[in-house]
Amino acid sequence: MVDTEKIRKRGRPRAFDREAALETARSLFHAHGYEGVGVAALAEAMGINPPSLYAAFGCKAALYDEVLARYDAAAAPLHALMQPGADPAVTLPQLLREAAHIYAADPQMAGCLVLEGARSADRDAACRARNWLDLGRGRIRDFIACTHPQKADVVADYVAAVMSGMSADARAGHPPERLAAVADMAALAIRAMLAPTPA
């Protein structure tokens, strides 16, 4: 007699692990860019078929957006530096130093996923990345505005520009010490920008 219950259990597919799938997609997007990885490659790496990918995430761009959201949440140590009452002249250099380390930590996934995504040739992907980029810049601006409201915009723009440059340099293969040197030079400018204006 055939044990149909054993057959049913043996043939049952593995449960879909959304977090593992998102981490797999993040690695691929980070290493190859949005345009550099197709739906078929994403699905294969996740261990599912393309229809299942669409069923789970809607479309490639929506998957990318969810990956960006997860990436942003994982940057909590950077967000944690910007606590109310902290001195931006001290905190922002720390932020840049941390970013320099993160961007160059893994040569296979160098740079910032959000910053590099904002440079994407795909309009939808770039727009989604820029939304997260604007959110991050807004956090920096609001943090600075707590103590230096008149300088918040220009300093936030400067910090964002430095981070963008460091991300691009990391993608180009610059080692951590070179990025750290850039962060340290930028720290001098930040302190000067935030210094009290002479009476």
Residue-level pLDDT at 196 = 83
- 4, part of any domain: no
| 143-166 CB burial, b ≥16 within 10 A, e <16 | bbbeebeebbeebbebbbebbbeb
Give the CA angle between residues 185, 177, 89 to the nearest 5°.
Answer: 35
Domain residue limits at 122: 18-194
- 12, part of any domain: no
pTM: 0.85
User: Which stretches of the chain drop beneath a pLDDT of 70?
Assistant: 1-15, 76-77, 198-199
Q: CATH number of the domain that 182 lies in?
A: 1.10.357.10
- 1, part of any domain: no
- 154, part of any domain: yes
φ, ψ for residue 195, nearest 5 deg: -65, 150
- 166, part of any domain: yes
With a pLDDT cut of 90, the percent of the chain lying above it is: 81
- 78, part of any domain: yes
Q: How many domains does the chain have?
A: 1
Is the sign of the CA dihedral 150, 156, 159, 162 positive or negative? Answer: negative
- 174, part of any domain: yes
Tokens 């600075």 label which residue?
Answer: 144
